[in-house]
Amino acid sequence: MDQELTKLLEDAAAAFKAARNNQELQDAKAAYLGKKGRIGEQMARLKELPSNRRGSFGDSVNKVKTQLEEVFASRKAELDRIKLEEKIRAQKLDVTLPGLRFPVGRVHPLTRVWNEAVEIFMAMGFDVVEGPEIETEWYNFEALNLDADHPARDEQDSFYITGDTLLRTQTSPVQIRTMERVGKPPVQVIAPGRTFRRDAPDASHSPVFHQIEGLMVDKGITMGNLKAVLEEFNREMFGKDVRSRFRPDFFPFTEPSVEIAISCFICGAKGCPACKRTGWIEILGAGMMHPQVLRNGGFNPDEVSGFAFGIGIDRLALLKYGIDDIRLLYENDLRFLNQF
């Protein structure tokens, strides 16, 4: 191979290897292997040569060309690999970095207790019904034996809308509405919902609060049924070791009426601040439905009987989660809510 060709091969190989990126490599390729490149120039020399030397010179040029193409290909592969490695390095994931925290919503403690209570009663066969928050005096009071001179009917204690309509002060009116709607026994429902009273807010009072009304009417319903249902509720809600205490009480819409307390689940009934050192915590009111209330709902008290109960959901939430101020349930302070 002549000197010029050898030099060309060396220069070209060096230029290819010196290329630091694809652009430089393509430029070098154009300079040597391109149409007007150095190899092309050598080919042009062919016709100047005597015919007996043309064959071997042509072979040499082609050999150089083939070798250069190989050098080019290998440098190209090398540059591609370097580029890929850089890309991988740049995109590397550092799994030791602290992760991003996404805020997660939570169920409000009041809603949790509400749902839990509803599920306990549903498991015992109760249906869930609702009644209006705006009630008439008839449903909210009169039909429940709270007559006009009852202290609860004082305008000071209720949010009246017109002379005859008010925000319901209890969920008990749903008793009457349900009996009317269903028309005949059996009735076995709970009615959870919002209730309203004109109380100044303090640690244990809120003008808006929540109750669950319960109602079970059929032939032959007794105090035994009442006891079984509410003892079961207390155990499911507060723990299987919790005992229930039934004491006489008075409500106009039940006769007899009972006040139900549970043994303190915090101190095991030994006496602590939560149970005011008595060992017992009052949690609900109940009783056998007054005959007049059954009649007001369109039922015949000579044929059927029933029991009713009312539970304060807010109070359940306070007790269950050891919260000492009902207002916390309504302030929507995230520092409070995030604890549940």
* Interacting residue ranges for ligand DAH, rule: CB under 6 A: 170, 172, 213, 251, 254, 285-287, 308-310
Are 211 and 311 in contact by the 8 Å Cβ rule? The answer is yes
The least CB distance from residue 214 to ligand DAH, in Å, is 7
CA distance 98 to 309: 52
Which amino acid would we find at residue 264?
C
Which amino acid would we find at residue 250?
F
The least CB distance from residue 254 to ligand DAH, in Å, is 4
Closest CA to 281 of 236, 328, 234: 234
- Pick between residue 158 and residue 254 the one whose CB is nearest to ligand DAH: 254
The least CB distance from residue 156 to ligand DAH, in Å, is 17
The least CB distance from residue 99 to ligand DAH, in Å, is 49
The least CB distance from residue 313 to ligand DAH, in Å, is 12
- Pick between residue 308 and residue 329 the one whose CB is nearest to ligand DAH: 308
Are 109 and 329 in contact by the 8 Å Cβ rule? The answer is yes
- Pick between residue 126 and residue 251 the one whose CB is nearest to ligand DAH: 251
Q: Which residue is nearest to ligand DAH (CB)?
A: 310
CA distance 331 to 2: 95
CA distance 305 to 248: 19
Measured CA to CA in angstroms, residue 328 lies from 110, 223, 308 at distances of: 10, 36, 30
What DSSP letter does each residue of 237-268 carry, written as one string? HH-TT--EEEEEEEETTEEEEEEEEEE-TTTT
- Pick between residue 21 and residue 222 the one whose CB is nearest to ligand DAH: 222
The least CB distance from residue 146 to ligand DAH, in Å, is 10
- Pick between residue 42 and residue 296 the one whose CB is nearest to ligand DAH: 296
Which strand (E) or helix (H) includes residue 286?
Answer: strand 280-289
- Pick between residue 2 and residue 231 the one whose CB is nearest to ligand DAH: 231
Quickly list H helices, 170-290: 173-182, 223-238
- Pick between residue 121 and residue 251 the one whose CB is nearest to ligand DAH: 251
The least CB distance from residue 129 to ligand DAH, in Å, is 14
309 has which bridge partners?
A: 214, 286
